[in-house]
A and B are shown apart, each in its own frame.
Chain A
Amino acid sequence: MARPLLFGFLALGLVLMLADHLLSPPIHVGAGAADTTACAPCGAPCPSTR
């Protein structure tokens, strides 16, 4: 019982991620290149505004 559920859950996650990609605005040239001013994604306001 758990095994098919797990396969289904994982497959659903992958499909949703792909669907999100297909429905998102096109990626601009250079996306994914290292951003030297990037903030670490810890969730704190960044750049700091508070």
Chain B
Amino acid sequence: MSTDSLASAATGSGSDVAQAIDRSALAFALAALALGTLIIGYEVSARMAALFVIGAGLGMALLHGAFGFTAGWRRAIVHRDGRGLRAQLWVIGVTALLFIPLINGFAPAGLSPQGAIAPVGTSLVVGAFLFGLGMQLGNGCGSGTLFTLGGGSARMMITLVAFIVGSVIGSVHMPWWLDQPGFDPVNLATAASLPGALVLSLAGLAFVGWITLKREAGGAAREAAGGHRFLRGPWPFLWAGAALVLLNLATLLIAGHPWTITYGFALWGAKAAQAVGIDMSVYEFWQWPQGANALQASLLTDVTSVMNIGLVLGAMTAAALAGTFAKSSLPDARSAIGAILGGLLMGYGARLGFGCNIGAFLGGIASGSLHGWIWFGAAFLGTLAGIRLRPRFGLSN
């Protein structure tokens, strides 16, 4: 099942008949969530257990809201339907209003959250382009891969494994890419003052939103009317967007940094490589303090990994409640090749580009970092190329 078909299932656009609750999937997801919360709370900390639950909330919001970045961008380009993209822009804008002051000296006493602020250069541009291309072939970005996997997409098992492999290769190559032309991170709040950063960020988002509206002129799409239910879904974009903003804010305050996804994939792959005898610590990326520590420590102490697992289980809970879990069949060979290629490109691109739609696009722009905007532009170009390639892999536009 793709993000599109999940979206259709979540919004009920394909049928008015309510699906029965999937009791076995619901039992699996709830048992894993309850056990996971207990184990993480006991073995690591209450803080990490809270982040696990926040991840589950994000997964539920993404699935019930069918909040897919990949399909949103594609619909804006191919069908001139910018609703999904504008929902993303709203989420980023509201998040920026909260994040930019918080990470620039206006956090509650005792907290000093860090923004997602990364370098700008060749690595970022190439990585984001490859990611944008890969997400159209993989049929889901970082969050999309996880929430559709939790929603029961068999194809996403393939995409995720390839994503992890690509992330490891990207981590090995990344130091070389960082040696190519580029410059240090640019925090707009430092470069243009805090109010300036807010104005620039919101004006940029408004401009992109205006372009999508202009393209829709005369044929503006409207959200389909229909019943919305909190537990069983579907959720309107407003509910899902509000949940994403609040849960990302909770992540910033509790974890000390914005919500991220793809760093965890690189770590999972590096740990798997170590398990089969490949010494990842010889590679520079895994010698940097953050990577070296993560490689040694339990995955349960890694915020990104813990939230990713919570996200999958939250999406599985939502899909089970909606009765849409695992309704797809296994992909054919052509589609599977697209999933592998898309996953590899996303994994490699996410490392070079410092994240995915969540870590770089949402997290970067909402942190007032210039790299978020460069990432958006390059990934959008990659998506244009990916859209042209999708039919070759049996994917419709």
Total residues of chain B contacting the partner, CB 8 A: 69
Provide the residues of chain A in CB contact with B116, threshold 8 Å.
Answer: 40, 42
Q: Are B154 and A5 in contact (CB under 8 A)?
A: yes
Q: Are A43 and B301 in contact (CB under 8 A)?
A: no
Residue of B whose beta carbon sits closest to that of A40: B257
Q: Are A35 and B256 in contact (CB under 8 A)?
A: yes
Provide the residues of chain A in CB contact with B258, threshold 8 Å.
Answer: 40
Q: A32-B47, A32-B301 are in contact. Are A42 and B330 (CB under 8 A)?
A: no
Q: Is the interface of B mostly helix, strand, loop or mixed?
A: helix
Chain B nearest Cβ from A30, distance in angstroms: 8
Q: A21-B300, A25-B297 are in contact. Are A44 and B257 (CB under 8 A)?
A: no
Q: A6-B154, A10-B312, A41-B290 are in contact. Are A17 and B300 (CB under 8 A)?
A: yes
Interface centre among A3, A32, A43 (most CB of B within 10 A): A43
Q: Are A44 and B185 in contact (CB under 8 A)?
A: yes
Total residues of chain A contacting the partner, CB 8 A: 38
Which residue of the partner chain, among A14, A34, A40, A48, contacts B309 with CB atoms under 8 Å? A14
Interchain CA distance A27-B298 in the complex, whole Å:
8
Q: Give B136-189 interface residues, CB cut-off 8 Å to A.
A: 149-150, 152, 154, 157, 171, 174-175, 178-179, 184-185
The interface stretch among B55-63, B196-204, B336-344, B353-361 is B353-361
Q: Are A40 and B299 in contact (CB under 8 A)?
A: no
Q: Are A24 and B298 in contact (CB under 8 A)?
A: yes
Provide the residues of chain B in CB contact with A31, threshold 8 Å.
Answer: 44-45, 297, 301
Q: A34-B47, A38-B256 are in contact. Are A45 and B178 (CB under 8 A)?
A: yes
Provide the residues of chain B in CB contact with A49, threshold 8 Å.
Answer: 288
Q: A47-B289, A49-B288 are in contact. Are A33 and B257 (CB under 8 A)?
A: no
Provide the residues of chain A in CB contact with B36, threshold 8 Å.
Answer: 14
Provide the residues of chain B in CB contact with A46, threshold 8 Å.
Answer: 288-290
Which residue of the partner chain, among B44, B111, B264, contacts A32 with CB atoms under 8 Å? B44
Which residue of the partner chain, among B152, B179, B260, contacts A41 with CB atoms under 8 Å? B260
Interchain CA distance A48-B184 in the complex, whole Å:
9
Chain B nearest Cβ from A23, distance in angstroms: 8
B278: interface (CB < 8 Å): no
Residue of B whose beta carbon sits closest to that of A25: B296
B32: interface (CB < 8 Å): yes
- Shortest beta-carbon contacts, A-B, top 6: A32-B45, A24-B298, A2-B154, A40-B257, A41-B263, A42-B354
Q: Which residues of B approach A to under 8 Å, CB–CB?
A: 28, 32, 36, 39, 43-45, 47-48, 111-112, 114-119, 149-150, 152, 154, 157, 171, 174-175, 178-179, 184-185, 254-258, 260, 262-264, 266, 271, 285, 288-290, 296-301, 303-305, 309, 312, 316, 326, 328-330, 350-351, 354-355, 359-360, 363-364, 367
A–B complex contacts, Cβ < 8 Å, 23 sampled: A2-B328, A2-B329, A3-B326, A6-B154, A7-B28, A10-B150, A13-B312, A21-B298, A21-B300, A24-B296, A27-B301, A32-B301, A34-B111, A35-B256, A40-B258, A42-B354, A43-B118, A43-B174, A44-B118, A44-B185, A44-B354, A46-B289, A50-B178
Q: Which residues of A approach B to under 8 Å, CB–CB?
A: 1-3, 5-7, 9-11, 13-14, 17-18, 20-21, 24-25, 27, 31-50
